[in-house]
């Protein structure tokens, strides 16, 4: 029974972590290297995440610097950035690619808030799915006679507390991200 609860909590923690990572990819007014690290780039005929073919840093608050490990990949990286839905315009000086982040308009900020809310809901759904799976496993244990009905109720209460805590963490992350996005 404890194993099922701990496993569910681990999966819930994984959903919270994944949501935090997704939030990091949503652009705010400041440059953040995670904005581009998972960007898919067509590199020698295969799709490769940018972080595997280049280093991404933020030397200034509104600039990203991309240093490709292979100079031949520069045009592929530029095409990937231009083709993404991030609205960024890279400039290539032959050795590095600079991406200056433009000021966010109010409309664009609101779009990013919507995206953040969608990511938060995806996280909540993953948490609820973990709860549903664990609850089903607990009910199976009770049907097989391995735990009593009282133990099942206590375990379900514990599971619900863990679920509520994980959802609360996602809500707090969303609140912080919204404040960050709407900050001018």
Residue pLDDT, tens place only, 52-79: 999 999 888 888 999 999 888 898 999 9
* Per-residue pLDDT tens over the stretch 103-137: 778 888 888 889 899 999 999 999 999 999 999 99
Q: Which two tokens stand for residue 43?
A: 């590199």
Q: Which two tokens stand for residue 91?
A: 């400039």
Neighbours of 158 (CB within 10 A): 17
Tokens, residue 153: 């109720």
Domain 30-100 fold: Gyrase A; domain 2 (3.30.1360)
The pLDDT assigned to 29 comes to 67
Tens digits of per-residue pLDDT, 131-165? 999 999 999 999 998 989 999 999 999 999 999 99
- Give residue 184's pLDDT band: very low, low, confident or very high (50, 70, 90): low
Q: Which CATH class is domain 2-24+105-182?
A: mainly alpha
User: Residues near 64 by Cβ (< 8 Å), separated by ≥ 6?
Assistant: 31, 33, 35, 36, 56, 57, 58, 98, 99, 101
What's the rounded Cα separation, in Å, for the pair 124 and 83? 30
The C-alpha atoms of residue 109 and residue 21 are separated, in whole angstroms, by 19
Per-domain residue ranges of the chain: 2-24+105-182, 30-100
Give the H/E segment covering residue 138: helix 106-143
């Amino acid at each position: 029974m404890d194993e099922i609860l701990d496993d569910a909590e681990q999966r819930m923690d994984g959903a919270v972590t994944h949501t935090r990572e997704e939030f990091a990819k949503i652009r705010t007014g400041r440059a953040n290297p995670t904005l581009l690290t998972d960007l898919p780039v067509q590199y020698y005929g295969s799709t490769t995440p940018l972080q595997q073919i280049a280093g991404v840093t933020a030397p200034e608050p509104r600039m990203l610097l991309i240093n490709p490990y292979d100079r031949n990949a520069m045009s592929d990286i530029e095409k990937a950035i231009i083709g993404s839905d991030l609205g960024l315009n890279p400039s290539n000086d032959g050795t590095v690619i600079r991406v200056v982040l433009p000021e966010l308009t109010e409309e664009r900020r609101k779009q990013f808030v919507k995206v953040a809310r969608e990511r938060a809901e995806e996280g909540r759904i993953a948490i609820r799915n973990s709860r549903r799976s664990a609850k089903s496993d607990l009910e199976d244990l009770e049907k097989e006679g391995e735990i009593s009905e009282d133990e099942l109720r206590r375990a379900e209460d514990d599971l619900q507390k863990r679920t509520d805590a994980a959802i609360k963490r996602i809500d707090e992350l969303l609140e912080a991200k919204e404040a960050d996005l709407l900050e001018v």
